[in-house]
Amino acid sequence: MIKNIGIIGGSGKIGTTFKKAFESVGLNVMVTDHKTKDQENDLINKSEWIILCVPIDKTLEVFDSIKNKIRKDQV
């Protein structure tokens, strides 16, 4: 069962909405954004699901920066 969700770009409108929704059903949620990028590795290591909530023009760039850090058992 999923318990830990990581949201990259989670301080914006969409990320905040996802965070509230996941927390409302008892999930643990970690959030990073451009100001807390140094915490991104910790988020990736602790999360079963990783959600990108970044501007569309940054999505590929962010995915490229994390793709080699994601485990095979993560979504």
Of 43, 11, 44, give the one whose Cα is nearest residue 30: 43
Per residue in 43-69, pLDDT (tens digit) is 999 999 999 999 999 999 999 999 999
Distance CA 58, CA 52 (A): 10
Type and span of the H or E element at 28: strand 28-32
Residue with the two structure tokens 């058992």 = 73
Q: What is the pTM of this model?
A: 0.91
Per residue in 14-48, pLDDT (tens digit) is 999 999 999 999 999 999 988 888 899 999 999 99
